[in-house]
C-alpha cells in the first residue's frame, strides 16, 4: 500500500513538473471534418518555425468532426485553444453561448478570419457515365446524389447554398424556383450522412451514388487516394465561395497560457509558407503570389459569396437550416 | 401479514445492502436521467410540445419503436433456435459457436453498422442478389431492423440458454410417455418453462435496440420522415444547439420505454408466479 502510494506521488510530481515545463507547449486545434491532412502539415511546419524562433517545443493536437458537433463540444467545455471550423455561424455560436471569445472575433484577423477559401465541386465515377456537368444535371430523375445532412454538416450547408445560389442565378432570383430546384435535388439523395467525411466514405468506399457534392479539397484528396481510374472531379459553372474561419478561443488559450502561441499559429496560416501548405492541400490561398503559383490546381469558375446572395450566415441559417426552415420543408409532405 | 417496510429475513445486512443499492442507482441511473427532465423543463411547454410532436420526430418514433419491436421479435424467434441448438445438441465447434454469440456485444457498433451497410448495399455481397428481387435493405427501414437484430441477438440467447439447460428433460420424457405429441411437449412443457426468459431477452433486446445509434446511422440512410431514428434526431438537435428540444425527445423516449419495460416486467412476474403456483 505504502509502495503504491509512493508511486502515485512520484507520478503526480512528474506530471506537475512536465506541465510546468515552459519549453513544452500543448495546443488543441478543434477543427471540422476534411482538414485532417491540412493541419497535420501545418502543425509540423509551425512547430518547426516556433522552435527556431523561440526554442520552445509545441505539440498541436487535432480534433475533427462535423463542424456543428465540434462547436458544441467547445460550448460544452472542450478546452480548445483554437477553433478552425467550416462556417462562421458555428464560431458565432461558441461566442454567443459560452462567451469564450468575443463577439467580434471575425474582425481580429484579415479576410474575415478566413486564411484560405474553398468551394463545392462534384466528384463522379470514372468516365462520368451519367454525364454530370453542372447543377442542372443533379436534379434529373435517376441520378443519385450523395451529400451530408446540412443540419449537422458545415460542408453540406455550403453545398445546399451553392445549389440554391445556382438556381437563383438561373431563374432571375426567383425564390420559389430555387426552392423547387433544391427540393428536386434532395429527392435524389438516398442517404444523408452526418459529416463530410462520412459522405465521402459512402460514395468512395461503399460505391453508392453517381455524384458526391464535396469540398474542393476533399474531392481532390479522394481523387488522389482512390486513383484517377476510379473517380473524377467535375467543376460546375457556378459555385459558392466557402470561407471556413479560424479563431483563438481566448478563454481557454489564456487559461493554458497559450494566448500568444495560439495567435501566432493562426497568423502562420496567412504567411507564404502557410498559404503554400494550404494550396498543396487544395485549399484556395488568399495570398495573390501563392494563388498565382498554384493557379493550375484551382479551376476557374464563377463564385458567389454567402453575403451577396443570402445576407450572411445568421440569416441563411435561420431561413434554411433552423427547425421548420426551408430544408425541413423539403422533407415534410403537403407543405 | 407484515406491514413494515422491511420484511424479516434470515440474511443479515439488509440496511447496508439497501443503502448501497439506492446510492449506486442514484449516481449511475437516477441523477443523469433526472438531468434530462430538468434540462427539458428549462423550455416552455409550447416549445417542447411542438418539438416532440413535429411530423419529423413522430415519424422517427414510429421507425424507432417499430423497428425495435420487430428486431426484438426476430431475436426472440431466432435466438431461441440458436439457444436450443447450443443446449440440446453436441457438434464439433460448439464452443466456437457459443463464443461467436457474444461478439455483437464486444464489437463497436459503428463497425457493425459499416460492415452491414457494405454487405447489404445494392452493390454489396448480399445486396447484389437481393436487388434484382426488388428487396432493398441498406438505407431503408428494413436495414434498420437488420442492424438492430444483429445487436439484439445475444440478449435472447444468453437469457434463454441457462434456463433451457436447467430444464429437466425428464419432464419432456414423462409428457411423451403420457401420450403427448412433440408439438404438445413443446407448447405445454418447454415453452412455459422458458417464457419468462424469452420475455427478459425480448425486453433487453428491445431496450438496447431503442437506444442504439452507432450501427444504425450507417445503414439507415437517415432521410427525414423515412429512415431517421429517434436517437439521431436527438443528436441532430444537439448539433443545432437546441438542448431543450433534444432532451425533450429523449424524455419521450425514456418515458415510453420505461412504461413498456415495466409492462414486460409485470408480465414476467405474473408468469413466474403462475409457474411457482403450478
| In CATH, A120-240+305-331 is 2.40.30.10 | no
One DSSP character per residue, B1-66 reads ---SSSPP-SSS-HHHHHHHHHHHHIIIIIHHHHHHHHHHHTS-HHHHHHHHTSHHHHHHHHHHHH
Which positions in chain B touch A194 (Cβ < 8 Å)?
A: 217, 222, 232, 235-236, 239
Chain B touched by A263 (CB under 8 Å): no
Chain A CA closest to residue B225:
A331
Contact A237, A301 (CB under 8 A): yes
Contact A158, A86 (CB under 8 A): yes
Contact B259, B197 (CB under 8 A): no
Measured CA to CA, the distance from residue B54 to residue A36 in angstroms comes to: 37
Taking CA atoms, A25 is separated from A39, A105, A154, A196, A274, in Å, by 17, 24, 30, 31, 20
ipTM of the complex: 0.75
What number of CA atoms fall less than 13 Å from residue A150's CA on the CB side? 27
Phi-psi region of A245 (alpha: psi -120 to 50; beta: other; left: phi over 0): beta
**Residue A240 β-bridge partners:** A304
Tell me which of A96, A142, A191 to substitute to probe the interface with B (most B C-beta atoms closer than 10 Å). Answer: A191
Tens digit of pLDDT for each residue in B148-160?
Answer: 999 998 999 999 9
Contact B230, B249 (CB under 8 A): yes
Residue with cell 487535432: A62
Which positions in chain B touch A322 (Cβ < 8 Å)?
A: 240
pLDDT of residue A332 exceeding 90: no
Identical fold, A21-117+243-297 and A120-240+305-331: yes
How does residue A14 score in pLDDT terms, banded at 50, 70 and 90?
low
pLDDT of residue A219 exceeding 70: yes
User: The C-alpha cell of B68 is what?
Assistant: 425495435
Measured CA to CA, the distance from residue A26 to residue A258 in angstroms comes to: 8
Contact A118, A217 (CB under 8 A): yes
Residues with Cβ within 8 Å of B81's Cβ and at least 6 positions away in sequence, in order, are: none
Tens digit of pLDDT for each residue in A72-109?
Answer: 999 999 999 999 999 999 999 999 999 999 999 999 99
Say yes or no for a CB contact (<8 Å) between A208 and B221: no
3-state secondary structure of A24: strand
Measured CA to CA, the distance from residue A29 to residue A39 in angstroms comes to: 9
Lowest mean pLDDT among A78-82, A206-210, A266-270: A206-210
Say yes or no for a CB contact (<8 Å) between A323 and B121: no
3-state secondary structure of B212: coil
Measured CA to CA, the distance from residue B247 to residue B245 in angstroms comes to: 6
Comparing CA positions, the residue from A218, A121, A112, A215 lying closest to residue A166 is A121
**C-alpha distance from B120 to closest chain A C-alpha (Å):** 10
Domains and CATH numbers, chain B: 53-277 (1.10.3720.10)
What number is the average pLDDT over the span B33-43?
84
Comparing CA positions, the residue from A85, A55, A82, A56 lying closest to residue A71 is A85
Chain B CA closest to residue A76:
B241
What is the second-level CATH architecture of the domain A21-117+243-297? 3-Layer(aba) Sandwich (3.40)
Task: Say if residue B11 is exposed, middle or buried (CB neighbours under 10 Å; 0-12, 13-18, 19+).
Answer: exposed
Task: Say if residue B153 is exposed, middle or buried (CB neighbours under 10 Å; 0-12, 13-18, 19+).
Answer: buried
Tens digit of pLDDT for each residue in B176-185?
Answer: 999 989 899 9
pLDDT value of position B11: 80
How does residue B41 score in pLDDT terms, banded at 50, 70 and 90?
confident
Can you give the residue ranges of every domain in chain A? 21-117+243-297, 120-240+305-331
User: The C-alpha cell of A184 is what?
Assistant: 428536386
pLDDT of residue B235 exceeding 50: yes
Residues with Cβ within 8 Å of B127's Cβ and at least 6 positions away in sequence, in order, are: B119, B120, B121, B136, B137, B138
Comparing CA positions, the residue from A225, A155, A138 lying closest to residue A197 is A155
Residues with Cβ within 8 Å of A294's Cβ and at least 6 positions away in sequence, in order, are: A276, A279, A280, A285
3-state secondary structure of A82: strand
Say yes or no for a CB contact (<8 Å) between B241 and A192: no
What number is the average pLDDT over the span B163-186?
89
Tens digit of pLDDT for each residue in A105-131?
Answer: 999 999 999 999 999 999 999 999 999
Calculated CA dihedral for residues A81, A84, A88, A91, nearest 10 degrees: -30
Say yes or no for a CB contact (<8 Å) between A189 and B222: no
Amino acid at each position: 500500500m505504502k509502495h503504491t502510494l509512493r508511486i502515485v506521488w512520484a507520478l503526480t510530481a512528474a506530471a506537475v513538473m512536465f506541465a510546468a515545463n515552459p519549453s513544452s507547449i500543448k495546443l488543441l486545434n478543434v477543427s471540422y471534418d476534411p482538414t485532417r491532412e491540412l493541419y497535420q502539415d501545418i502543425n509540423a511546419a509551425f512547430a518547426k518555425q516556433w522552435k527556431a524562433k523561440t526554442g520552445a517545443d509545441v505539440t498541436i493536437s487535432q480534433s475533427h468532426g462535423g463542424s456543428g458537433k465540434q462547436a458544441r463540444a467547445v460550448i460544452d467545455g472542450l478546452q480548445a485553444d483554437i477553433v478552425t471550423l467550416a462556417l462562421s455561424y458555428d464560431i458565432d455560436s461558441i461566442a454567443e453561448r459560452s462567451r469564450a471569445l468575443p463577439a467580434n472575433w471575425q474582425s481580429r484577423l484579415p479576410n474575415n478570419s478566413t486564411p484560405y477559401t474553398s468551394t463545392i465541386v462534384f466528384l463522379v465515377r470514372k468516365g462520368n457515365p451519367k454525364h454530370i456537368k453542372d447543377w442542372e444535371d443533379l436534379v434529373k430523375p435517376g441520378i443519385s446524389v450523395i451529400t451530408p445532412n446540412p443540419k449537422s454538416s458545415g460542408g453540406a450547408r455550403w453545398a445546399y447554398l451553392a445549389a440554391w445560389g445556382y438556381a437563383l442565378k438561373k431563374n432571375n432570383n426567383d425564390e420559389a424556383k430555387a426552392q423547387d430546384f433544391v427540393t428536386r435535388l434532395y429527392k435524389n439523395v438516398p442517404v444523408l450522412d452526418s459529416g463530410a467525411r462520412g459522405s465521402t466514405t459512402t460514395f468512395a468506399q461503399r460505391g453508392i451514388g453517381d455524384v458526391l457534392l464535396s469540398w474542393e479539397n476533399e474531392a481532390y484528396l479522394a481523387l488522389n487516394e482512390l486513383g484517377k481510374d476510379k473517380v473524377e472531379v467535375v467543376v460546375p459553372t457556378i459555385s459558392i465561395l466557402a470561407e471556413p474561419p479560424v479563431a483563438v478561443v481566448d478563454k481557454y488559450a489564456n487559461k493554458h497560457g497559450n494566448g500568444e502561441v495560439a495567435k501566432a499559429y493562426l497568423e502562420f496560416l496567412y504567411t507564404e509558407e502557410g498559404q503554400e501548405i494550404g494550396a498543396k492541400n487544395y485549399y484556395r490561398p488568399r495570398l495573390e503570389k501563392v494563388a498565382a503559383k498554384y493557379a493550375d490546381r484551382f479551376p476557374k469558375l464563377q463564385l458567389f459569396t454567402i453575403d451577396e446572395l443570402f445576407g450572411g450566415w445568421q440569416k441563411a441559417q435561420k431561413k434554411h437550416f433552423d427547425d421548420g426552415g426551408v430544408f425541413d420543408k423539403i422533407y415534410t409532405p403537403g407543405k | 401479514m407484515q406491514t413494515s417496510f422491511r420484511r424479516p429475513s434470515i440474511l443479515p445486512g439488509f440496511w447496508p445492502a439497501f443503502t448501497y443499492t439506492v446510492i449506486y442507482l442514484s449516481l449511475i441511473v437516477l441523477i443523469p436521467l433526472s438531468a434530462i427532465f430538468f434540462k427539458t423543463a428549462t423550455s416552455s411547454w409550447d416549445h417542447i410540445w411542438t418539438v416532440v410532436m413535429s411530423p419529423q420526430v413522430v415519424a422517427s418514433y414510429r421507425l424507432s419503436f417499430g423497428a425495435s419491436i420487430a428486431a426484438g421479435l426476430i431475436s426472440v424467434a431466432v435466438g431461441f433456435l440458436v439457444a436450443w441448438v447450443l443446449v440440446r445438441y453436441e457438434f464439433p465447434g460448439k464452443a466456437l459457436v457459443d463464443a461467436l454469440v457474444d461478439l455483437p456485444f464486444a464489437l463497436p457498433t459503428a463497425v457493425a453498422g459499416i460492415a452491414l451497410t457494405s454487405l447489404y448495399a445494392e452493390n454489396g455481397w448480399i445486396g447484389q442478389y437481393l436487388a434484382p428481387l426488388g428487396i432493398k435493405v441498406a438505407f431503408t427501414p428494413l436495414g434498420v431492423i437488420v442492424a438492430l437484430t444483429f445487436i439484439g441477438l445475444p440478449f435472447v440467447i444468453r437469457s434463454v440458454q441457462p434456463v433451457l439447460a436447467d430444464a429437466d428433460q425428464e419432464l419432456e420424457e414423462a409428457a411423451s410417455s403420457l401420450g403427448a405429441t412433440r408439438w404438445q411437449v413443446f407448447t405445454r412443457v418447454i415453452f412455459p418453462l422458458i417464457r419468462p426468459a424469452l420475455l427478459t431477452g425480448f425486453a433487453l433486446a428491445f431496450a438496447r435496440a431503442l437506444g442504439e445509434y452507432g450501427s444504425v446511422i450507417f445503414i439507415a440512410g437517415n432521410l427525414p420522415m423515412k429512415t431517421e431514428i429517434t436517437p439521431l434526431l436527438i443528436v441532430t438537435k444537439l448539433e443545432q444547439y437546441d438542448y431543450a428540444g433534444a432532451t425533450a425527445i429523449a424524455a419521450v423516449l425514456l418515458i415510453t420505454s420505461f412504461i413498456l419495460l415495466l409492462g414486460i416486467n409485470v408480465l414476467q412476474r405474473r408468469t413466474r408466479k403462475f409457474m411457482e403456483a403450478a
